[in-house]
Structure 1
Amino acid sequence: MLPAFVAADMRGLQRPRALVLSRLTDHRLAYDLLSAPEPALGDLDVAGPQWVTTEIDLLVARLAGGVGADEITMLAAHGIRYVVLTRVDVGGEGDPLVDTLDGQRGVRRLASRGGDAVWQLSPVSSRAQVSASASVGRGSAPVRMAVEEPRVTTSIDTTVTAGPAGRRLILAEASNGRWLWSINGISVTPQAGVGVESEGGVEGGLDPSVQHVALPDESARVVVTFDGTSRRRWLWAQAAVIIGVVILALPSRRREIDDDADEVPESGAEREPDVGNPSPPIEVVQP
């Protein structure tokens, strides 16, 4: 259960993500990357591509280890705005992981109550953001989504104001050919990968699980949608198969005929007279 203010922010038009850290009994650290505040049925059965989870695994390990490199900026590039640590040790000796996160540059603790602690990453990130170049760092500006509902597929339909040359629109979604981008009504192809801008202006730490496009200097209308046609067809095909199986499993109407039983005439059919036991004749008496 996420804190109320984190859940409310995740339902907004910027739709940031939350990274939830949980410590296991064998001194290991587990994490969940949440795009919506409430989990839905089947979320645990759907995993991202291996090359995406590998990148997140590395960033989380660096974050927990207090490496202090570019992991904070790269987590922000994935649209992560909040880090939530569950079951915080509030004893007198302190919590080593809490101390590590408190000491990280670009991480600010917001709350620590009810056994959980919440940090916010800086720069403040969102699912989509405008950066001065094909790298993330200071000066990135969040972009609002077209739909507020966090479980609806990410989509953008907004006007980006004029800005300096070389800026990019970065989308924290795995690169896929079904993402459709257009700028001022013209279709464009996004590029996979985003770098990290260091203090010296050097780009490094290329992350292939994020995509971006170049923006013009002038104001531009940007539309980003995801083509889910193939998935809808697959769901309809699955529904048709399930309906067919249910119909075939229904009991059919059968009529069992016992060859040894006397034949019962059908309703409305003429009865044959019983010749074996004829009725006595009726005498008519004249008055």
Structure 2
Amino acid sequence: MVTLKRVYVFATCIISGIAGLFTIISLATEEWIVTDSAIWIGDPDVPNKIKYGLFEGTFTKRLPTTITLQISMTCLMKENVCAVLCAGSSDARYELLRRINDGTETSPDDDINCPAVSLVNSVPRRFSTRLHNNSTDTKKFINCGVWVSTIFFLVLSLFFGLISSAMSMYNVVTNPVQVFLSITGLYIYNGIAMGCCLMAMVLWGIMHIIITYHNIAIRPTLLGMMTSDKRASLGYSYWINIISVAFYFGSICILYTRQMILSKDPGYKIEKQVENASPDGLYLY
């Protein structure tokens, strides 16, 4: 009787599940884009810290006092633009983005109603900033299509990763005949999960090089009051997806190793011959 090598399949279950967990962490955390050196135009000695994920983030302003505001991803689908803004309500954020996109936003400071995460002292929250003449490349919005696609591929990667984990456990306790439930299906599910995760990283990485590396896409940078040109970088929420990719690849390697070990087992070869001759096509290994 050939050894089933179920431990390899169980290892695939654990590893694929962990890879999916890292994808969840990536989606939930707020450090896809980070900078701690964005500066006000005309006042380069006052750096500001911005970090945000695919949904929310924080903006720490240090002029004239230190205050941390909650910012949220806001998109206009028809215009294919997104920015990370704060306002008193979601409707106010969409209206603010529309004004910025249309070039009709004239208020130098519109965050009086923004939700504050922390405030260092009691200095009034309205800052004495003013609008500057925008250069032709100042308004670099986050591409809405890339944002949606990144989320889509990550969710798809998570879905197939969890399917792989569940089907691996199923293969530990039984020997299914159907391709989509068998070991072959595990190859497919892990491959799709890995490919989707890679695609999300490629899309967001290219957009960062083109857009957010030069303009972090918050209100002050879009209006020319602040610059983040060449001061932003990809945070751990982005890079953690490499772990997921590596784990999915590791699952495929484990399954291949199992297959190689079984192929060298004489009992496996005999049972494969019996299987091929069996009219009902049942797996006997």
The structure, 1 or 2, with the larger RCO (C-alpha pairs under 8 Å, 6+ apart) is 2
TM-score, length basis structure 1: 0.25
**Which protein has the bigger helix share?**
2
TM-score, length basis structure 2: 0.25
Bigger Cα Rg: 1
